[in-house]
Amino acid sequence: MKRLAVAAFFQLSSIGYGHAQAITTGNELQEICQNAAPQQGRVKTQIELFKSGQCVGFVTAIVRVGKLLVPGAQFCVPENVTPDQAVKVVLKFLRDYPADTNKPAETLAIAAFFFAWPCK
């Protein structure tokens, strides 16, 4: 029984890790985030759910550092903004500036929030 439990643990703990990748460019961020928004009437696959979580985690981390950046690069996200809204801001920025999507993902996300929510 113990062997079965250990085998099940390792089987379950490996789900999704084969698809994990670091998000390094805007292209990768766009690919991972494209299905992050809830889609009514459609059930996401396990891979889509994993990518959605990866996207939301990345975007949320960037949102949280906005006020900590050096002056001139800071952004101030309104308190009522949801992770879904933040993802939409990033995706819109990536669609609006396709020539820049080869640049670092965190730089592009910061720029998206800087233009969407500048500090006043």
What are the sequence ranges of the domains in the chain?
A: 23-116
Residue 6 has pLDDT above 80, yes or no: no
Residue 104 has pLDDT above 80, yes or no: yes
Across-strand partners of 38?
none
Q: Output 36 or 93, whichever has higher pLDDT.
A: 93
Task: Please report the pLDDT score of residue 20 as a whole number.
Answer: 56
pLDDT, average across residues 89-106: 97
Helices (H) and strands (E) in the chain, counts: 5, 0
CA dihedral (38, 106, 82, 85) positive or negative = negative
Q: What is the pTM of this model?
A: 0.78
pLDDT, average across residues 5-33: 63
pLDDT, average across residues 106-118: 96
Buried b (16+ CB within 10 A) or exposed e, 30-39: bebbebbeee
Average pLDDT score, the chain: 83
Q: What is the rounded CA–CA span in Å between residue 51 and residue 68? A: 27
Coil, strand or helix at 10? helix
Task: Please report the pLDDT score of residue 2 as a whole number.
Answer: 44
DSSP per-residue string spanning 30-52: HHHHTT-S--TT-PPPHHHHHHH
Q: What is the rounded CA–CA span in Å between residue 118 and residue 75? A: 5
Task: Please report the pLDDT score of residue 57 as a whole number.
Answer: 95
CATH domain 23-116 topology: 10k-s Protein, Hypothetical Protein A; Chain A (1.10.890)
- Residue-wise pLDDT tens digits, 32-81: 998 777 666 677 788 888 888 999 999 999 999 998 999 888 999 999 99
Q: What is the crossing angle of helices 83-96 and 105-116, to 10°?
A: 100
